[in-house]
Amino acid sequence: MEKTSAMEEKPTILIVDDIKENIHILLSLLDDYDLLVALNGAKALKLLEKNEIDLILLDIVMPGMDGYEVCRIIKSNPDTKDIPILFITAKTDEDSIERAYDAGGVDYVTKPFKPKELISRIKTHLNMRSMLKSLEFFATRDFMTGIYNRRKFFELGNELFEKSDKLFAIMMDIDKFKLINDNYGHPFGDIVIKSVTKTISQNISEDSVFGRLGGEEFAILCKADSMEEVKQRIENIRKAIENLEEKYQNTIVKVTISNGIALKHASNDTMDKLLKRADEALYEAKGTGRNRVCFRN
- Overall CATH class of domain 12-139: alpha beta
Catalytic position from the list 9, 117, 162, 216: 216
The torsion of the CA quartet 162, 168, 171, 172, rounded to 10 degrees, works out to: -130
Convert the pLDDT of each residue in 24-35 to its tens digit.
999 999 988 999
The answer, as to whether pTM is greater than 0.85, is: no
CA distance 257 to 215: 13
206 is catalytic: no
pLDDT at 151: 95
pLDDT at 267: 78
What pairs with residue 34 in β-bridges?
12
Domain edges within the chain:
12-139, 150-296
- Overall CATH class of domain 150-296: alpha beta
Convert the pLDDT of each residue in 240-293 to its tens digit.
999 999 999 999 999 999 999 999 998 779 999 999 999 999 999 999 999 999
Convert the pLDDT of each residue in 51-96 to its tens digit.
999 999 999 988 889 999 999 999 999 899 999 999 988 887 888 8
Label residue 8 by pLDDT band (50, 70, 90).
low
291: phi > 0 → left, psi -120 to 50 → alpha, else beta; which?
A: left
Instruction: Please report, rounded to a whole number, the percentage of residues in the chain having pLDDT higher than 90.
Output: 79
Label residue 7 by pLDDT band (50, 70, 90).
very low
pLDDT at 97: 86
pLDDT at 6: 38
178: phi > 0 → left, psi -120 to 50 → alpha, else beta; which?
A: alpha
| pLDDT of 2 above 60 | no
